[in-house]
Structure 1
Amino acid sequence: MNRELWLLRHAKSDWHVDADDFDRPLNKRGKRAARRMGAWMKQQQLRPDFILSSPALRAVATAEIVCTEAGLAVQDIHQDKRLYEQGLAGLKAALTGCPARAQRVLLVGHNPELEALLIDLAGLAAVPDADKLLPTAALARLALACDWQHLRPGSAELLSITYARDLPDAC
């Protein structure tokens, strides 16, 4: 297994803003969690080769904050509409567009799609027993035995799930 897929659920959004779902921004807690996750990724030397994000405001904002904190170029974020309300098939279709040379892909998106992808690729037995597998600003790391064109059920191994809420403010 030489490829990794990193699934990052967007950080906490602001439900008090009068905006439709697509345009909902991050709240203060969400911005702080995204900064924590980005700083932790930098500390752990987790540098993706390719970054995919849902075009929804809260996902893009999460990706931008994480990239800034991790020392990654914000302009390298690729937005893909198939990552917003397109289900498991949409996520897999978006991933097939990843460059073949990309060994580590960061995908920033939404539940329930991210949890469905995690369970599909790693298998239900591999995931921890939790009410919410990927709460906001959680990062799941998967090792893949295949390329981006052949993401089949059971083709990945769950390496870890990291929760921003468990990370210190300064990693």
Structure 2
Amino acid sequence: MPDTLIVLRHAKSDWTGNVPDFDRPLAGRGRRDAPAAGRWLADNAGAIDLVVCSPAKRARQTWKRVAAELPSQPEVRFEPRLYDEGVGALLDVLLDVPAGPKTVLFVGHNPDLSMLVERLSGGECELRTSSIAVVDLATKTVRATATPRG
């Protein structure tokens, strides 16, 4: 299991189109906020070894904009269990992370991400769009939270 789990809720999505939830893109605000989240991660999170991202369009678009702000590019896996499968599925994904990565970033959706942080830390967690929580898995504490805006 990694030492640190970072969770990033996708940036603000566009609700104006008549598309299925899975295919909703980022809204203008989301396209502006995602790079700010990337800059925050670059300045505060240290090296990220593995990214596990929901395959939903808004999550993939968020990751693309976040990644552009990072000094190095970690391995990325698109994981269907990060889309609307519940906190139990997210815990399973975390347990499935192979030995090696010290810091893992999940890019996904609420309420599952907030519930995951709460389950791991025992504290309350509200993740708005583009919000980040950094969880120390050894101590089961949230080391940092942020909601960067572009």
* 1:4-153 map, 5 Å: 4-44=4-44, 46-73=46-73, 76-124=75-123, 127=124, 133-145=126-138
Per-residue CA deviation, residues 116-149 of structure 1 (Å, 9 max, x unaligned), is 101111003xx36xxxx1000000000011xxxx
TM-score for the superposition, normalised by structure 2: 0.92
TM-score for the superposition, normalised by structure 1: 0.81
What is the root-mean-square deviation in Å for CA atoms of aligned residues? 1.7
Q: Which runs of 4+ in 1 moved over 6 A?
A: none
Could you tell me which amino acid in structure 2 is paired with residue 3 of structure 1?
A: D
Distance between the aligned counterparts of 1:47 and 1:84, measured in 2? 25
Preserved CA contact (<8 Å) 1:25 1:61: yes
SS in 2 for 1:161: strand
1:156 to 125, 140, 143: 140
Larger radius of gyration: 1
Distance between the aligned counterparts of 1:65 and 1:38, measured in 2? 7
Q: Identity of counterpart residues, as a percentage?
A: 37
Distance between the aligned counterparts of 1:44 and 1:159, measured in 2? 11
Shift of 1:43: 2.6
